[in-house]
Amino acid sequence: MQTILVVDDDAGIREVVCFALRKAGFETVTADTGEQALSRFVAVRPALVVLDILMPELDGTEVCRRIRATDRHTPIVFLSSKDDEIDRIVGLELGGDDYVSKPFSPRELVARVRAILRRGALAPEAAAPDAPGLQLQHGRLRLDGEQYKAFWDARELVLTLTEFGILRTLMTRPGKVCRREHLMDQAYELHKIVSDRTIDSHVRRVRAKFAALGVDPIETVHGIGYKLGPCA
């Protein structure tokens, strides 16, 4: 049984979220402060974190930043009353995998949690050793599905689960345009509740990681989507 870490300073919200998750078959561990969340994350190593943004002292964005400093794979779903698009984008660009606004539907939250965890279970490293597509190569860019890593030459790009899925999708059809809808289908099972701006935020984060290596192989096709250009 998978364990979800639920972080919120509101006891009522924690109770609602935990009830919905336990009813869906998950175990839950809770934290009501950012510091407590970090210590319980290390102790429990949850399958996923539901993380409130607006908390006193150490807020959710800083908790996410600290988790991502040592763990790039554990999915993080932000839960917040801040519904401005800029807040959503900032959360995703910090390394979050999804963002649910308060007030929220517990059923929708559970559906998103399940979709993200299912996507992780179907990631290349979880596939059989002889499964196709474990190793992808395009010029100097290499994706190692067994290790769940991507490299430009010998330099690794540190990617979250969602970012890895987007890059993998682009690498399966280099030079061809991937419409945003296709990226949504591949990166999010619940693509109907994911906006174009969400995909754009994740792609922008992947491009920033390439930029740190001095390259930019992802090309924007305005009004349509993205494609992976030459990686020479």
State residue 177 phi and psi, 5-degree precision: -75, 130
pLDDT at position 216 is 92
**CA–CA separation, 94 and 202 (whole Å):** 10
pLDDT reading at 86 higher than 80: no
User: For residue 144, what pLDDT band results from cuts at 50, 70 and 90?
Assistant: confident
Which amino acid is it at 117? L
How much is the pLDDT for 132? 43
Instruction: Identify the band that residue 93 occupies on the pLDDT scale cut at 50, 70 and 90.
Output: confident
pLDDT of residue 16: 96
Q: What is the C-alpha to C-alpha distance for residues 152 and 157, in angstroms, rounded to an integer? A: 7
Q: Which residue has the higher pLDDT, 116 or 175?
A: 175
Predicted confidence band of residue 127 (pLDDT cuts 50, 70, 90): very low
Question: Is residue 106 a contact partner of residue 113, using CB atoms and an 8 Å limit?
Answer: no
Average pLDDT of span 126-144: 69
- Domain borders along the chain are 3-121, 125-228
Q: Give the closest residue to 92 by CA, choosing from 194, 223, 186, 224.
A: 194
Predicted local distance difference test score (pLDDT) of residue 1 = 86
**pLDDT at position 125:** 37
Identity at 66, one-letter amino acid code:
R
In this predicted structure, the answer to whether residue 64 has a pLDDT above a threshold of 90 is yes
Count of helix runs (H) and strand runs (E) in the chain: 8, 12
- Domain 3-121, classified CATH 3.40.50.2300, yes or no: yes
* pLDDT tens by residue, 19-58: 999 999 999 999 999 999 999 999 999 999 999 988 888 9
**pLDDT tens figures, 156-208:** 998 877 788 889 889 988 999 999 888 877 766 544 455 567 788 889 889 99
Q: Enter the tokens of residue 50.
A: 């539901």
Residue 4 CA from chain centroid, whole number: 15
Percent share of the chain, pLDDT over 70: 85
For position 131, what pLDDT does the model report? 42
Tokens of 230: 């030459």
Residue range 125-228 forms a domain whose CATH class is mainly alpha
What's at 203, amino acid-wise? V
Residue 109 near residue 20, CB atoms below 8 Å? yes
What is the phi/psi pair of residue 18, to 5°? Answer: -65, -40
Instruction: Using the structure block, give the residue that is written with the tokens 């030079």.
Output: 175
pLDDT number for residue 11:
95
